[in-house]
Structure 1
Amino acid sequence: MSEPMSRRTLLGATAGTAVAAATGFVPAPATAAGNRVPAVVRELDAKIEEAMAAYMVPGVAYGLRYRGRDYVRGFGVTSLDDPQPVDADTVFRVASTTKPFTGTAVMRLVERGRLDLDRTVRSYLPGFRTADPAASARVTVRQALNHSAGWLGDYFLDTGNDDGALARYVDEMSRVPQLNPPGKYFAYNNAAISVAGRLIEVVTGVTYERAVRELLTGPLGLRHSAFSLEELPGVRWAVPHVPNEAQTEIVPQPAAWAMPRAINPAGGLISSARDQLRWARFHLGDGRVPGSDRRLLSRRSMHLMQSNPGPGGTLFVELDGVGVTWLLRPTAEGPKVVQHGGDWAGQHSGFLMVPARDFALTVLTNSDTGPTLLDDLFVGDWALSRFAGVHNLPAVPRALPAGELAAYQGVYTGEQIYFDGSTLTTQFEVVPDAGQLSVRIDGTEVARLAFYRRDYVVFPNPDGTVGNQRANFVRDRDGEVTWFRLGGRLYRRGAEATVQRRSSAPATLPRPILS
């Protein structure tokens, strides 16, 4: 059976040899200002090294906040073609982990009275509209930031690289379908965060990138964080690696680093493990710059970003919802997890915090095989249980009778608008099978779904054990199943297939470009 999730690696866990053996590079041990490294930190090091070898990940860097101390470490190399060692200051594209930077910049402007979370987007952008002018007129700034704006979120149109790129991108959103009324459902929305970036430009009168530098990265002393390598001369960067055409090995692909400028607010930040850890310390704190009395945000604003979530659901794990760009994740013990993560071609990152435990972990990788390493650490309980003493909500699968499963049967369809403006459509069929649901593309099973509570499913592993990845179905006001939420995206339920596959590649569930 195929591996069961959109973020799963394209390469098998046993393919190839260990990157460390191939390069001969042995990283220095993690340090904590000269203190003895705890056993659990050494366990993290070992787990990362094992995963790099198993999944063929050339380079990894992490930052860890644990029991009042900071740890940073690099592993492996920046490129298999030019193997330079990864360290705590090597820069990666953190992709969607950028979104809380956009949200935090918005909150600085809210405190200055320049933006109001509960005013409509159109209050600041009078000409703004999606394909549904009436619905898009009601979307508030808060809804854009908590992923409940309701329009199609995977809109990646490339509108150039000059200072007007973001304005043109937002103007072109008149073609973007409005899937649901504002505020009704959580559906991961890259486009909405780019709209928030445009709001920052409009009220500050400078480009989004300059505003973030002046509002955040500069005051916080994030010296290895920017939106282009040209802003970071001399800094070592982690080259993206992607599968070759035969899907047998990974190869460097520097061109994959490029990103349309209009997507910068949703995923364009370049940063290092050391900077990401400093960023985590800021958000674990009370609004002051770490190690300083300078205040960037009030305690109230910091709390607001991590509370009052919008609609909940799933994004690889269960979510209470989203605050101001932070994903808020419940735990069995009660303390909330505040997290994000990022995916781009050959660049994948994870970032989570448990403020009640003063714990944070950020991990950066430079390969399309990186998501499996990140899943091992972030999606399940591995890091949370060892460093923060908390666990995911329990998910005990149970078989359902065929009559109950029939409510979910159907063909599910989702779309994204790609860089050149073309629309890419994904369809898969969900069929009851032996107490579970079988997910099929062109008749081939690509995943199984096992229910653990009403409308919520886990993906069993090929060996029958329970996996960590979760998804859920969504019902309309009449109780009818109308959507399947996979990777945070909504796939509409229909009666029959309407799209023919155009690719000869093996059938797999979609993997989000930014998440």
Structure 2
Amino acid sequence: MVEPMSRRQILRAVAGSAAAVTVGTGAAAPAGATGSRVPRVVRELEEKIKAGMTAYGIPGVAYGLRYQGRDYVGGFGVTSVAEPAAVDGDTAFRVASTTKTFTGTAVMRLAERGRLDLDRTVRSYLPDFRTSDEAASRRVTLRQVVNHSAGWLGDVYTDTGSDDGALARYVEALATAPQLTPPGRVFAYNNAAIGVAGRLIEVASGKVYEQALRELILDPLRLRHSGFSLDELGGTPVAVPHGPDENGNQVAVPEALAIPRSFHSFGGLYSTARDQLRWARYHLGDGSPLLSRRALRAMRWRPGPGGTLLVDLDGMGVTWMLRPTAEGPRVVQHGGDLPGQHSGFMLVPERDFALTVLTNSEGGPSLLAELFADDWALRRFAGLHNVPAKPRALPPSELAGYEGRYVTEQIGYDGERVSSEVDMVGVDGRLSLRIGGVEGVALPFYRRDFVLVRSPDGSDTHFRADFIRDTDGSVGWFRFGGRLYRRNPSSSAALRATTTAPQLLPVTLPHPTRF
């Protein structure tokens, strides 16, 4: 048995690992090498990554950056604390939900060939498709599927086997998925919908999803270190997921790399920082032959309903998160989360800027929040800022309209439904979100129905969330991390009656962006 490394040993390994930086098309050079001509702001990014690794216990990080017409790729730390090997720009990580952007691009390739049409119904291609709502199943379009407004429960994680029929069976199993909102009406992050998109790729191409994606996307763009299995990676080193043990030490959990095949279209891709940067350059419009320029831009046109997905959201395009800035240029963003594998991905076409960061531990989301949800990277590399959000206090009479118990659910590997609930209580001009009576986060409002997500001590998490109103004007849903929590307003009086001073304990919501 290999004993887990202590936190101090992990950080020593991290601090001792040099970054390999590629500038333009030149050869790799160690960070700090004489003559490498790496801009100061790139060094700042590297230092921020290393500081985050120390602060959040992240054994390994790789990054890719497009800045002022040049490319930078680097890695820090180790692939595994159990069997340490250096991370670099050619180390593979699960990129989780960034896979959705590959699925969306494959849909657009098939649309350009006339095999799919974004504005036709799903049933045009899958006549037997249905969720629990027949009317919604009949009306929902492919565009609503890829812009996350299909309306059915999105967190459906049914394991339907590992053979070539896995995705078809996954989509058939959605027959029991509850329809939460009418198609096209509300943005709600939807893994299951992108599963449907993956199945439509199979139907339109006549090939299983993984083969279709390789032929439509991976091979034409020469993404040679990206794939859905370790066999496809051909010996590429792989970053192992990590999580804390009972003493807070990071331990390797290699079994967490395994996910059901039915998840591949919405979260199964392995890739490297170098390949992810190549992917970013393609979507910045580097001229590579794949989609026409018009189709490439169309992936960022006509966003669906807006709201929040950890930051303010104009809406989703064709699987791309379209994010506003104070200055006007739109950020095109994604990222992904699996246990022990967390990544961020953003680009700004108007600034020829892109950043991808891949991490291999449960500490990853904290670093990614600083880089991707906060202004840090946007401000330094693109001269852009988040839409301003100044918190303000609301009187108890206004807060009362948001109070109550909120419930969400998901469908697990075996098809079982699991629900969880949180309570909202008005305190000192803002909302207190509580789990089991303990304050998890504070929610001060910055505009009607939109809140900042703060730790109980008031520190900024860099996240935002919002509330959705029903047709009668009352608050019906809380949206956090793109997920919908249904409000039970009748519980408000009971919650207020039993609430005393908040307990400021380190309790938080489950991470909001699995996949």
Identify whether the pair has TM-score above 0.5, normalized to the shorter chain. yes
- Render the CA deviation track for 1:26-46: whole Å, top value 9, x for unaligned: 213523145510000000000
The answer to whether residue 422 in structure 2 is matched with residue 428 in structure 1 is yes
- Render the CA deviation track for 1:202-234: whole Å, top value 9, x for unaligned: 111110000000000000000000001111121
SS at match of 2:21: coil
**Alpha-carbon distance in 2 for matches of 1:28, 1:303:** 34
Alignment check: 8 A CA contact 1:18 1:53 kept: no
Higher relative contact order, chain-length normalized (CA < 8 Å, sep 6+): 1
**Alpha-carbon distance in 2 for matches of 1:19, 1:48:** 15
SS at match of 2:302: coil
The answer to whether residue 350 in structure 2 is matched with residue 356 in structure 1 is yes
Tell me the amino acid that sits aligned with residue 491 of structure 2: E
Shift of the alpha carbon at 1:441?
A: 1.3
Residues 1:251 and 1:466: Cα distance change in structure 2 (over 3 Å): closer
- TM-score, length of structure 1 as denominator length: 0.92
Residues 1:336 and 1:506: Cα distance change in structure 2 (over 3 Å): closer
Alignment check: 8 A CA contact 2:423 2:434 kept: yes
Q: Which residue of 2 aligns with 1:146?
A: 147
> Structure 2 stretches of 5 or more lacking a match?
1-5, 27-35, 495-504
SS at match of 2:110: helix
Q: Which residue of 1 aligns with 2:100?
A: 99
Shift of the alpha carbon at 1:136?
A: 1.4
**Alpha-carbon distance in 1 for matches of 2:364, 2:404:** 32
1:375 to 369, 388, 392: 369
The answer to whether residue 398 in structure 2 is matched with residue 397 in structure 1 is no
**Alpha-carbon distance in 2 for matches of 1:307, 1:26:** 42
Q: Which residue of 1 aligns with 2:138?
A: 137
- TM-score, length of structure 2 as denominator length: 0.92
Shift of the alpha carbon at 1:507?
A: 4.8
Q: Which residue of 2 aligns with 1:264?
A: 264
Shift of the alpha carbon at 1:417?
A: 0.4
Q: Which residue of 1 aligns with 2:119?
A: 118
The answer to whether residue 324 in structure 2 is matched with residue 330 in structure 1 is yes
**Alpha-carbon distance in 1 for matches of 2:102, 2:271:** 12
Alignment check: 8 A CA contact 1:18 1:52 kept: no
SS at match of 1:97: helix
Alignment check: 8 A CA contact 1:451 1:458 kept: yes
Alignment check: 8 A CA contact 1:76 1:85 kept: yes
Tell me the amino acid that sits aligned with residue 222 of structure 2: G
Alignment: residue pair count: 488
Q: Which residue of 2 aligns with 1:170?
A: 171
SS at match of 1:360: strand
Shift of the alpha carbon at 1:424?
A: 1.3
> Structure 1 stretches of 5 or more lacking a match?
1-14, 290-294, 499-504
The answer to whether residue 23 in structure 2 is matched with residue 28 in structure 1 is no
Q: Which residue of 2 aligns with 1:83?
A: 84
**Alpha-carbon distance in 2 for matches of 1:31, 1:176:** 46
SS at match of 1:137: helix
SS at match of 2:8: coil
Q: Which residue of 2 aligns with 1:6?
A: none
Residues 1:266 and 1:318: Cα distance change in structure 2 (over 3 Å): same
**Alpha-carbon distance in 2 for matches of 1:307, 1:400:** 36
Deviating above 2 A after TM superposition, structure 1's stretches of 4 or more consecutive aligned residues are 15-20, 22-25, 28-31, 460-467, 495-498, 505-508, 512-515
Alignment check: 8 A CA contact 2:91 2:237 kept: yes
**Alpha-carbon distance in 2 for matches of 1:506, 1:136:** 42
Give the root-mean-square deviation of aligned CA atoms.
1.7
The answer to whether residue 50 in structure 2 is matched with residue 55 in structure 1 is no
The answer to whether residue 38 in structure 2 is matched with residue 44 in structure 1 is no
SS at match of 1:353: strand
Q: Which residue of 2 aligns with 1:496?
A: 491
The answer to whether residue 30 in structure 2 is matched with residue 17 in structure 1 is no
Tell me the amino acid that sits aligned with residue 353 of structure 2: F
**Alpha-carbon distance in 1 for matches of 2:151, 2:314:** 18
Identity %: 63
